[in-house]
């Protein structure tokens, strides 16, 4: 089995969201920080922070829920996997649920949403969908 840290992150968030936990704690990396930043900017999570720990710093993501504990995140899907990479050129960027969701991509200018990639005029690897 191939170690996929992004799939591990998405699975932890999906499981905690299903169990209605308030926060998720996981080992951090640069790509996980960038994905957490995008999820916060898009309004899917309440906040994120890093905590110093040994042997590796931890990423703490606080999940967001509605007034009556309804979930903000309905689904997460890893698109590009180590066994099969998925790329999108700049003229065929993905849309999630007709624009209601968000596609997160890894481009030459960094990790960003598909909408940001369209503004920059770049394509790249489609990491995941969130809705």
Q: Is the dihedral of CA 74, 36, 127, 7 positive or negative?
A: negative
Percent share of the chain, pLDDT over 70: 98
Question: What is the pLDDT averaged over residues 59-66?
Answer: 95
Q: Could you tell me the pTM of the whole model? A: 0.90
Q: Kind and range of the H or E element at 7?
A: helix 5-18
**What residues pair up with 103 in beta bridges, in sequence order?**
129
Nearest to 72 by CA among 130, 1, 111: 130
DSSP state at residue 60: E
pLDDT at residue 11 is higher than 80:
yes
Q: pLDDT tens for residues 63-98?
A: 999 999 999 999 999 999 988 999 999 999 998 988
**Residue 2: per-residue pLDDT:** 55
Average per-residue pLDDT for the chain: 93
Radius of gyration of the chain (CA): 15
pLDDT band per the 50, 70, 90 thresholds, residue 50: very high
pLDDT at residue 4 is higher than 80:
yes
pLDDT band per the 50, 70, 90 thresholds, residue 130: very high
Q: pLDDT tens for residues 97-120?
A: 888 999 999 999 999 999 999 999
Nearest to 45 by CA among 56, 54, 26: 26
- SS3 for 25-63, per residue? EEECCHHHHHHHHHHHHCCCEEEEEEECCCCCCEEEEEE
DSSP state at residue 11: H
**Residue 15: per-residue pLDDT:** 96
Q: Is 51 exposed, middle or buried (0-12, 13-18, 19+ CB in 10 A)?
A: exposed
pLDDT at residue 1 is higher than 50:
no
Residue-range domains of the chain with CATH: 5-63 (3.30.1370.30), 76-130 (3.30.1490.10)
């Amino acid at each position: 089995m191939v170690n996929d840290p992004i799939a591990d992150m998405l699975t932890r968030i999906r499981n905690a969201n299903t169990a209605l936990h308030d926060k998720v704690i996981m080992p951090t990396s640069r790509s996980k920080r960038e994905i957490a930043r995008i999820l916060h900017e898009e309004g899917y999570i309440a906040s994120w922070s890093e905590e110093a720990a040994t042997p590796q710093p931890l990423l703490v993501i606080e999940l967001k829920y509605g007034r009556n504990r309804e979930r903000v995140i309905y689904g997460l899907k890893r698109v590009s996997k180590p066994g099969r990479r998925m790329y999108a050129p700049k003229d065929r960027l993905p849309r999630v649920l007709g624009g209601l969701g968000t596609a997160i991509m890894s481009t030459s200018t960094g990790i960003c949403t598909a909408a940001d990639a369209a503004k920059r005029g770049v394509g790249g690897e489609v990491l995941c969908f969130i809705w």
